[in-house]
Structure 1
Amino acid sequence: MKVLVPVKRVLDYNVKPRVKADGTGIELANVKMSMNPFDEIAVEEAVRLKEGGAVNEIVVVSIGDAKAQETLRTALAMGADRAIHVVTVEKVEPLGVAKVLAKIAEAELPQLIILGKQAIDDDNNQTGQMLAGLLSWGQGTFASKVELAADAVVVTREVDGGLQTERFGLPAIITADLRLNEPRYASLPNIMKAKSKPLVQKALDDFGIDLKPRLTTISVSEPATRPAGLKLASVDELVTRLHAMGVAK
């Protein structure tokens, strides 16, 4: 079985985002970047399935500029077999990403596509669902557990009411939730081996699809500053203030 895992290079989750002075977006110059955490979980799950004997090849793909290769090499060091880099300097919206991934899936013919449920830079949570629609494949979103059967996949997903278990046939798409697994750290020998693993570059124009933006970012701003708290001298003073606010009656 072949598994395709899309990965995205984003601002590292430990870095506090800063809005650009002109309000057009987040400042990405001279800041630490890393693999999207949910995509890292997706890579880990694919590697675990391979270690369990259910998968024999893992292909990772990323859309972005030259630095996206660093993210792909990280995935290769974690255990992926080869990588595809779709080169572009322009931002590609979720629908465009889904269209590119659909073309790659048609060429690679994977039985399973595992990707993060969302990217932490835009939190759209759209690509997996759009990709499933374009390919007409079954999908299991927000997966917290994945099990492969003979010709099917069983996904346990988190919903508001608890856990929901679904079974659907292959090929299929899974989006990984936070509690699916804990990604491993790539060892130094694997990091060195990743440098020699195949990494193919493709031009975005080669896919011949319409990637015209549908959305326009009007402005980006910092969240409102939270007002400072008050220290009150007594419970009576607290009750008085609550009455004044209309909270207590």
Structure 2
Amino acid sequence: MNRLKKKHRLPNTPILTLLTDFGMNDEYVGVVKGVILTYAPDARIVDITHLVPPQNVRAASHLLARTYPYFPRGTVHLVVVDPGVGTSRAILAVAADGQYFVGPDNGIFTPVFLRATSLTVHQVTASHFFLTKVGTTFHGRDIMAPVAARLAAGLDLNRVGPGMPVHDCIHAHYDVAIREGNILQGEILHVDRFGNLCTNISRQEVECFAAGREVVVKVGEKIVIPLLHSYAEQAIGKLLALYDSHDHLEIAVNRGNAALELNMVVGATVAVTAEK
């Protein structure tokens, strides 16, 4: 056991995060936490969010990518957005750069696969680590939670099931910003609770495109939005663009709601241009 803990470098009190689409109106989150505490009673459970839009794997993947780098080595991330629950889709347990991830094989871990410098993937098949009764509608409770909890408590990853080549895992295809002439085009990936519109356009992409020129953000044919450094640089109630805390372009309204102001949703197109 001492050798196992040294290998995994788990903290004295294991950290286990939850990211789901369960919402907060039902018992689902509480039940999953109960299972976790049954097998890892010392775990510190951190709720990333339970408000991922239902079955929206892409949104969950985006939020995971923005979250996990800020957690210490040894953290176990349980991610349950699983529209394929009850089917033959695989369940994965992943070790990546000292952190661990448990969830369905549906593309949700694509950012982890692309970023990791050290990566091991196992398919979760060791049924003696599952709950005694496994249904077809709640694998987050019956399979993923007990396995994630056991990993947090020190279970060797090799024991959850056979290794799996990462190229055999499902990789989601995410659109990237595209340069077309004098326009850098991207899309809205996420709308946060403030109504800020988070895009897939990075600061690096904008700066490379701008090449020292002043640029603006355009929505539709007529709406031109200035690129500023902070919300307060713009008048209250006015639109602005800026780089968010993850260095990606965001459209906002100072003390307002850009999503409502522009009537924009996830998937909507935005453009960066030097032409005003």
TM-score tier (shorter)? under 0.3
Relative to the length of structure 1, the TM-score reads 0.26
Relative to the length of structure 2, the TM-score reads 0.24
Q: Which has the higher contact order (CA 8 A, sep 6+)?
A: 1
